[in-house]
Structure formats: C-alpha cells, structure tokens
C-alpha cells in the first residue's frame, strides 16, 4: 500500500516537474522556432527574483513568486528585443550609421554595414541555439559575479503529509496542482483568446497574418515574454525546494528538452502527453531501481521517440488523423 502511494506521489512529482520545466521552452519553440538554450537561466532569474523579493524586499511568498514570474517576463522581453529580433540594436544602428559615416573618412565609412545589423532568429534553430547558449554562459557567470556562489533560500511552506512510516512534502502536491492548472491556462490562452488565435495563425503562415494587419513582431515579442514568464514561474515555484546557486537552471534542462522532443510541435497537448508518459516511466524506474535509473530510462525514451516518432507524439496523432480523414 505504502509503496503504491509512494509511486503515485513520485509520478505526481515527475509530472509536475516535467510540465513546469518544459512549458516555457515549448511555447517559445513551438511558436517562434527558437530553441532557447538559456531556458534554465530564465528559470534562474525567476528563482532569484522570488528569493530576493522575500529576503530583501520582504514580500510574502505568493506575491514574491508572482513578482519572480513578472520580472522574468520583462527580462524575456528585453532579450527578445535585443538578441532574438535584433530590433533594439538595429534601431540604434539606423540612427548611428549616418553620423558615423559622416564623421569617418570615406574609405572607412564604405565598410560600415548599411542595412540592419541583426537578422531575427525566428525559425533559425541552429543560430538561435548558438545565440542563446552564449546568453546562458553570460547569465550564469553574471549571477555568480553579482550574487556569489549561492544565496539564502526561502523556507518550504505547508509542512508534510504523513502516511504510515512515510511523509511527503505538502508543497509538492501544490506543485502538481499548479502544473495541471498551468496546462489548462495555456490551453485556454491559445484556444480562446485573440492573442492565442493570432499566435497560431502566425505559426501557420506569418506573411498572410501580416497581410491581414497582424503586427507579427508584437506577437513574437509577446510570445517570448509569455514563455519567459512561465520559465520564471517555474523558478519561482521551485525556489523553496532547490538550492539557490547560479547553475540551478541546468537541472531542469534534461526534462524540458526531452519533453519538447517527445511531445512534438503542439504546445499543450504535446507537453501534457509527454509529461504524463515520461513521468510514468521516470517514476516507475526511480521507484524500482533508484533515481539514477529513472533518468537513464528518461533519456532512452527520448532516443526511442526520436527514432520512431520524429514529429513527437502530437506529430503522430496528426498523421493518424490525416489518414483517417483520407479513408473516410
């Protein structure tokens, strides 16, 4: 009995962890075609902002978590405008270039680039990986320089649930609840709101969306901010339970990337299904053979999924649906 409960809790744990680790990454990848290798560091921003809001500002924990998510969304917006879209640097360059070329001798002026400096990284998977990897290195080192090797942690709220000889942190149940609510919220946003509809239209055909009056730049910026905000929320939620050090983001990366690979392009359904499947696999293996084998099982599943379901679970579902339609 107790072991079944253990297994159930372990499953909830893995499920919540995978959903929360992957949500922001999945949105940014699914809608913008950008692979954000600094995803873990966005989680770091959320975790640090939350912790500092409690320790240095004195906010109550829930307000601090909200602040952590909002700060990360704002940070994401700045990253989008500078690195991902290049709009900021291009704006500056457009104004600087005429002055610079007037001031310089003709020969020197001739070598200045005349067009925009940065091409947006949308749908450029490899390029976006390189750029965000650089960002990730800068952020980890930056955090280390500014805050040192660790900062004080906030206490875990809610205490324990006891069953038999075991006990389980009640906060982890809260995380499971939040992860389900988050999936519901993201589903709602992308299905029923104008923003969500436009974002999906932009993925399918951004030229046509633009020709219909959609400001696609704003849609991309909002999407990146939303994805960043969710990563920040993940950091905020885990701030009380993981140690606060500059590399904390890396422990989310394996689950996040495996979930996105296995889930495929559809953000909500993909993340939900892959979190359920991977959560089950990870918890069963961890429960039987220990956490190490849990992770190994997770990675093996990812390799098998890449081999047999190249479009992820949702890519497979889409293929089956198409076949059904053709047959009917």
Partner 1 sequence: MTLLALSDVTAAYDRTPILRDVDLAVDEGEIVGVMGKNGVGKSTLMKTVIGLLEPESGTITYRGEDVTGLSADDRARRGIGYIPQGRDVFPKLTVEQNVRMGETINADSDEYLYESVYDYFPVLEERADQSAGTLSGGEQQMLAIARALVANPDLLLLDEPSEGIQPSIVDQISEDMQAINDELGTTILFVEQKETISGYLAV
Report the C-alpha gap between 328 and 326 in whole angstroms. 6
- 62-65 contacts: CB < 8 A, separation 24 or more? 64/154, 64/236, 65/233, 65/236, 65/237, 65/239
By CB under 8 A, tell whether 212 contacts partner 1.
yes
By CB under 8 A, tell whether 26 contacts partner 1.
no
By CB under 8 A, tell whether 95 contacts partner 1.
no
The correct pick among 200, 247, 254, 284 for binding partner 1 (CB under 8 A) is 200
By CB under 8 A, tell whether 211 contacts partner 1.
yes
By CB under 8 A, tell whether 193 contacts partner 1.
no
Residues within window 216-255 making contact with partner 1, judged by CB under 8 A: 216
By CB under 8 A, tell whether 197 contacts partner 1.
yes
By CB under 8 A, tell whether 213 contacts partner 1.
yes
- 299-303 contacts: CB < 8 A, separation 24 or more? 299/254, 299/258, 301/258, 301/262, 301/277, 302/258, 302/261, 302/262
By CB under 8 A, tell whether 141 contacts partner 1.
no
The correct pick among 70, 118, 214, 242 for binding partner 1 (CB under 8 A) is 214
CB of 317 to partner 1, least distance (A): 13
Q: Which is nearer to partner 1, 166 or 321 (CB)?
A: 321
CB of 324 to partner 1, least distance (A): 12
Stretch that binds partner 1, among 40-48, 76-84, 212-220, 304-312 (CB under 8 A): 212-220
Q: Which is nearer to partner 1, 171 or 195 (CB)?
A: 195
The correct pick among 155, 165, 204, 324 for binding partner 1 (CB under 8 A) is 204
Q: From the CA atom positions of the chain, what is the Rg in Å?
A: 22
State the DSSP string of 252-292: HHHHHHHHHHHH-S-HHHHHHHHHHHHHHHHHHHHHHH-HH
Output the CA–CA distances (angstroms, integers) from residue 60 to 71, 98, 302, in the order listed: 16, 51, 39
By CB under 8 A, tell whether 106 contacts partner 1.
no
State the DSSP string of 149-192: S--PPPPPPS-EEEETTEEEEHHHHHHHHHHHHHHHHHHHHHHH
Q: Which residue has the tokens 């070598």?
A: 111
By CB under 8 A, tell whether 181 contacts partner 1.
no
Neighbours of 307 (CB within 10 A): 8
By CB under 8 A, tell whether 116 contacts partner 1.
no
The correct pick among 149, 150, 208, 243 for binding partner 1 (CB under 8 A) is 208
Q: Which tokens go with 199?
A: 């974002």
Interacting residues toward partner 1 by CB under 8 A? 194, 197-198, 200-201, 204-205, 207-216, 325
């Amino acid at each position: 009995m107790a072991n079944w409960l253990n297994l159930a809790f372990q499953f909830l744990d893995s499920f919540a962890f995978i959903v929360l680790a992957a949500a922001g990454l999945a949105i940014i990848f699914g809608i913008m075609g950008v692979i954000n290798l600094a995803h873990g560091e966005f989680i770091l921003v959320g975790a640090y902002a939350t912790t500092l809001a409690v320790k240095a500002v004195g906010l109550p924990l829930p307000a601090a978590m909200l602040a952590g998510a909002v700060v990360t969304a704002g940070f994401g917006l700045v990253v989008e405008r500078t690195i991902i879209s290049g709009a900021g640097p291009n704006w500056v360059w457009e104004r600087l270039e005429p002055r610079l070329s007037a001031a310089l001798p003709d020969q020197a002026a001739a070598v200045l680039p005349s067009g925009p400096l940065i091409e947006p990284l949308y749908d450029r998977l490899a390029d976006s990986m390189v750029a965000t990897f650089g960002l990730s290195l800068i952020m980890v080192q930056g955090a280390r320089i500014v805050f040192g090797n660790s900062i004080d942690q906030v206490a875990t709220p809610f205490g324990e649930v006891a069953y038999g000889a075991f006990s389980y942190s009640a906060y982890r149940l809260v995380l499971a609840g939040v992860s389900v609510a988050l999936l519901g919220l993201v589903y709602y946003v992308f299905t029923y709101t104008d923003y969500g509809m436009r974002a999906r239209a932009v993925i399918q055909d951004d030229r046509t969306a633009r020709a219909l009056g959609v400001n696609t730049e704003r849609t991309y910026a909002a999407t990146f901010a939303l994805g960043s905000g969710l990563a920040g929320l993940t950091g905020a939620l885990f701030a009380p339970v993981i140690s606060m050090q500059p590399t904390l983001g890396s422990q989310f990366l394996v689950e996040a990337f495996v979930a996105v690979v296995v889930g495929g392009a559809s953000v909500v359904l993909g993340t939900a299904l892959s979190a359920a499947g991977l959560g089950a696999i990870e918890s069963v293996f961890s429960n039987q053979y220990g956490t190490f084998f849990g992770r190994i099982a997770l990675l093996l599943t990812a390799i098998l999924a890449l081999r047999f379901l190249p479009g992820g679970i949702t890519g497979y579902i889409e293929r089956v649906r198409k076949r059904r339609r053709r047959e009917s």
